[in-house]
Amino acid sequence: MGTELPLFPVQASTMAGRVDALYLFLIAISVFFGLLIATLVVSFAIRFRRRSRDERPRPIHGSTVLEVTWTLIPLGIVMVVFLWGADVFFAMARVPPASMDIYVVGKRWMWKTQHMTGQREINELHVPLGVPVKLTLTSEDVIHSFFVPAFRMKKDVVPGRYVTTWFQATRPGTYHLFCAEYCGTKHSGMIGTVTVMEPGAFQAWLAGGATGTSLAAAGEKLFQDLACITCHRADSEGRGPRLEGVFGHPVSLASGERVMADEAYIRESIVNPAAKVVAGFQPVMPTYQGLVSEESLMQLVAYIQSLGGPATAGPGTALASPAPATASPAATPRPRGQGR
């Protein structure tokens, strides 16, 4: 807008500065080597231009010293870049504990976001400032990609599985949200905004909206409506494992493996129960694939999460010891029902 020609998006997350720093370093290297080569080529081309038609320069075959030098120096530089880039990437992959959970479903051609308290948004996401936010995403149809340039965050959203990513916003404002994986006709229309608010304003927004039921409460209702409760009884008499206290803990499977009961595990157990059967139980659970939408799945996952288990020890933290539950500063209302 106007005569301004920005070169960078706004830095609005904790990772943005780190990504930009690496970018600037690479620009510096590129400018240096680009100018070096350009200067050498142009100056050699001029200085050694042909003066007479039959001129024959003395042959120069090569120089091992030069070859080694200009192999090792670039190699050293790219190794530095590799390590730096990997470091940033690891930070992006490690979801901090005590993050606020948001569930996102991408579908042609909109983004549906759900807060744990039950707010649903379409093509919008309101988040509080200064709080790590963990996104659990899936797609209902084709591969999409959730991209917020201001956060330097992007993650492909794949049908049939959950992916997670996270950010911590550092600047209030409204930022672009794009779909970054081509998904058909309205790919460039699958855009929206992420709005970062001061904690007080965020609370007001949460309270003011038509909340409806919290995610976990909606999940509890589904749990009963779909008759999950018939087998997954709280009294351990059911044909299925008891689900209280399962979330976020390792589970022993009939195959002898141990896996972490995270969001992806819960979702898989609903749509593909035979894949991982808990030790001591028969593989009798029917599949709910096709009977439950992705959004409903997220509600069920949120409900099971609320049945106990440490705070948001998601796949990003893998099998690290789960952090004790601490209330996050933004104090998002706890789902009613089972406490922690």
Enumerate residues 63-82 that contact another protein by CB under 8 A. 63, 66-67, 70-71, 74-75, 78-79, 81-82
- The β-bridge partners of 174 are 195
Q: How many residues bind another protein (CB under 8 A)?
A: 99
- By CB under 8 A, is residue 250 in contact with another protein? no
Q: At what angle do helices 215-225 and 294-306 cross, to 10 degrees?
A: 100
Question: Which span sits near another protein by CB under 8 A: 86-94, 117-125, 224-232, 246-254?
Answer: 86-94
Q: Which of residues 181-200 bind another protein (CB under 8 A)?
A: 181-189, 191
Residue 274 Cβ, how far from another protein at the closest point, in Å?
5
CB 280 within 8 A of CB 255: no
Q: Which of residues 94-123 bind another protein (CB under 8 A)?
A: 108
Per-residue x/- track, 10-39, another protein (CB under 8 A)? -----x--xx--xx--x--xx--xx--xx-
- By CB under 8 A, is residue 210 in contact with another protein? no
Q: With respect to another protein, which residue has the nearer C-beta, 111 or 147? A: 147
Phi and psi at 19, nearest 5°, equal -65, -45
- The β-bridge partners of 213 are none
Tokens of 20: 């930009």
Q: Which of residues 301-340 bind another protein (CB under 8 A)?
A: none
- By CB under 8 A, is residue 282 in contact with another protein? no
Phi and psi at 36, nearest 5°, equal -60, -55
- Name all contacts of 230-236 with Cβ < 8 Å and 24+ positions apart: 231/285
Residue 209 Cβ, how far from another protein at the closest point, in Å?
26
Burial of 149 (0-12, 13-18, 19+ CB in 10 A): middle
